[in-house]
Amino acid sequence: MNYADLSPEVRAQYPWPGADLPVNGGRMHYVDEGPRDGKPVLFLHGNPTWSFYWRHLITGLSDRYRCVAVDHIGHGLSEKPEDWTYRLADHIANAVKLVEHLDLRDLTVVVHDWGGAIGTGLTLAVPDRVTRLVLFNTAAFQGPVPASIRLCRVSGLGPLLVRGANGFLEGAIVRGTKRRDLFRGGTVDGYRAPYPDWRNRIGHLRFVQDIPIEAEHPTRPTIAAMEARLHDLRGRPTLIVWGMKDFCFTPAFLARWRKELPDAEVVEYPDAGHWVVEDANDRVVPLVRGFLDRT
């Protein structure tokens, strides 16, 4: 799927055709908006969203900051290969390749959901390039997984739920947001747009399957190594923003981040859910801008 395939209504909300970079897995799409001499901000989404999730922040920051928002392989407007590995280490390597390709320095890494593990891996891989961190409802360590997500990993049933019924995305739309007044039809269409059928939902399934629940899971060593080095994230200005009504990344995950990053600035939104940037976009945009301006 390409930008031209999006409906006019979706393009009106997401008016950035972007560019592509050949990476491991195929063609990786990204948005690159704002002055090229502005301090760069890299946005890394999670599952089952895409760079559309960051549209309010891109709009609110790109007058001054260079905003780069990735679609991971299998997501958004990037290529969605059926036979790729879809491992965390691969997504990290692709993010590193983009940062090096664009030669981004003095970088702010902004993450959500699976983007937290990818962004942490990126930061640990190229620490001299990353100056600031902004974390939204995410993890880079082992934690409890809701039963509904575990169900999507069951052999045979998982593909039917995730790819056939589009259950992971539709479930996230219902459970991930709490401010229904802000989450209207046009917004929902934007999230659904790159995932119209079985073929285009492969990334959703593979991200779920890559959750390293089992001790022998191939991604378990990647997470374990990352978790052992979380202290290496310290020393950077860090903003943690949390929707406290998150069914997946509960307040217990926030407590862990407070322990790992004791000097971080933390803002809690009691009325927001997992998709905190949607639920609280009117507060998130000035909050992040203020953080960037003063650091």
Q: Which residues are marked as active site?
A: 113, 246, 274
Q: Which residue is listed with tokens 């990204």?
A: 30
CA distance 187 to 36: 29
Would you tell me how many other CB atoms lie within 10 Å of the CB of residue 71?
26
SS3 string, 45-63, reads CCCCCCHHHHHHHHHHHCC
Strand order in the sheet with 19-23: 19-23, 26-33, 66-70, 40-44, 107-113, 130-138, 238-243, 265-269
Burial 76-95 (b: 16+ CB within 10 A, else e): bbbbbbeebebbbbbbbbbb
CA distance 231 to 250: 21
Name residue 236's amino acid: R
